[in-house]
Amino acid sequence: MAKTYEPIGTTTTAGTSSITFNSLSGYTDLILVCVGYESAGAYAVCRLNGDSGTNYSRTALRGNGSTATSARVANETAWYVDLAANPNTSILHFMNYSNSTTYKTMLARWNDHSNVVAAQVNLWRNTAAITSIALTSSGGGATIVGTYTLYGIKGA
């Protein structure tokens, strides 16, 4: 059986303001698995290639077993990654990240301690290949805690 996910890097932290993954060449897709939380109980932001322009959009769906909600936001300066106040798991899938002719798409799925599950589709309106992925805390003294592992997927 062929190996599908190749680990690129892992960061484990008891509290940091930012995590960055570089050296992302040689794969078709990237998967970032976040097992952790944000100390202020909010979110982290995800930026690609250091871009802080208003080039990010997202559509999110959330549910808790009895209520479902959705939201659509455009022209943001980053994507929001819901890390919540207690350990949870978020999986970020960056598709076709090295293509230099199309905008980049990232699918995110997560769960948190309050029994919420969510899915989010994200668009980065830039045709550049993704060369770095940074997660940054929401600020105000908050920190990112946990283990964050980036995997590469090679095409057949």
Collapsing DSSP to helix, strand or coil, 115 comes out as coil
The per-residue pLDDT for 1 is 39
Classified by CATH at the fold level, domain 5-153 comes out as Jelly Rolls (2.60.120)
What are the tens digits of pLDDT across the range 23-35?
898 899 999 999 9
The per-residue pLDDT for 147 is 94
Q: What mean pLDDT is predicted for residues 118-129?
A: 95
What are the tens digits of pLDDT across the range 58-102?
999 989 889 999 999 999 999 988 776 667 888 999 999 999 999
In this prediction the pTM is 0.91
